[in-house]
Structures are given as C-alpha cells and as structure tokens.
Structure 1
Amino acid sequence: MIRKTSFNVILLAALIAMTCQHALGQIPTGTPRTDEPVRLNTTADIIIYLVLPLTVIVLGIFWWFFYKKPKNEREKEKADKN
C-alpha cells in the first residue's frame, strides 16, 4: 500500500512539473535580458565563464583520483582481509 501511494505521489509531482514548465521558465519582470552570446572581452567574463568551471572540473578529477579512489581501494582491501 505504501509503495502504491509513493508511486502516485511521484507520478503526481512529475505531472505537475510537466504542466508548469511554461510558468516556471518565465523571466521575472525587471530583469535585464540579452539574447546575445557571451563575449569574452573583459577579465571578469573570462574568469566567470572559463576559469571557474575549468577549476571545478580539474579539482573534481583530482579529488576523485587522490581521495575517493584510494579510499575505495582501502575499503576493498579491508573486506578481503576479513
């Protein structure tokens, strides 16, 4: 009974999300909007659109290879010993 209820709740939430996409996707009034592509003329734009995303990606890769992966291997070794 609980599984059926949770399925119905998820189905209802998905239905609401699909029907409200137009309303949720609107730009608020008073917000400046430009349909032009990003121009990398200023240092701030270069940092925001290039440097910061690349930094996050590189740090994520380093975190995976130097922290997460060795930790998983240590846990596997402990499990093998037991």
Structure 2
Amino acid sequence: MGQYYKVISHGDFKPLLLEEKNIYVYKRIFKNENIIVITNFGEEKTINLSNENINEYKCLLSNTEFINNNGTLNLKPYDAIILYKKN
C-alpha cells in the first residue's frame, strides 16, 4: 500500500497563478507538510513558481517528464504534477 499524506485531505488550500488561463495550480499546507498540484488543461505552457522554492520539493506524480529549471516549468498539454515537501 502507498504512503498516506494528510496534507492532501487536511491541508489549508491556497490557489496559485490565478491569472493563468487553462492552468490550475494550488498549494495545500498541513502542519509540516506542503503539497503543490499543477495541472494544464490547454496547450504547452511555461510557468514560473520560483516564489514557492519548488527545488525543495520532490515529485510524487507526473504524467510526463518533470523538469524543474529553478522554478520554471515547461508544461505539456494536459500535464499533471504533484510536488511534496515535509519541513
């Protein structure tokens, strides 16, 4: 059985990148756990999450190759990425 992350069901919800069309990004925070969920419902797109220090996160799930270039992510169409960090 896989690992259970309480942050997924118990964390506070914070939307990110609200101005991006067809990109849905949010962060959940619970105690010492953080998770960032990134989904792209459109064409290929580059986004910047450098304010979130995603270099500190590990990738739990990605349906394509996940490449982090200091917070800049190149998302393929219909890409989904889940990042996790425990402080």
Q: TM-score range by the shorter chain?
A: under 0.3
TM-score of the superposed pair, with normalisation by structure 2: 0.17
TM-score of the superposed pair, with normalisation by structure 1: 0.18
Higher relative contact order (CA 8 A, sep 6+): 2
Higher helix share: 1
Higher strand share: 2
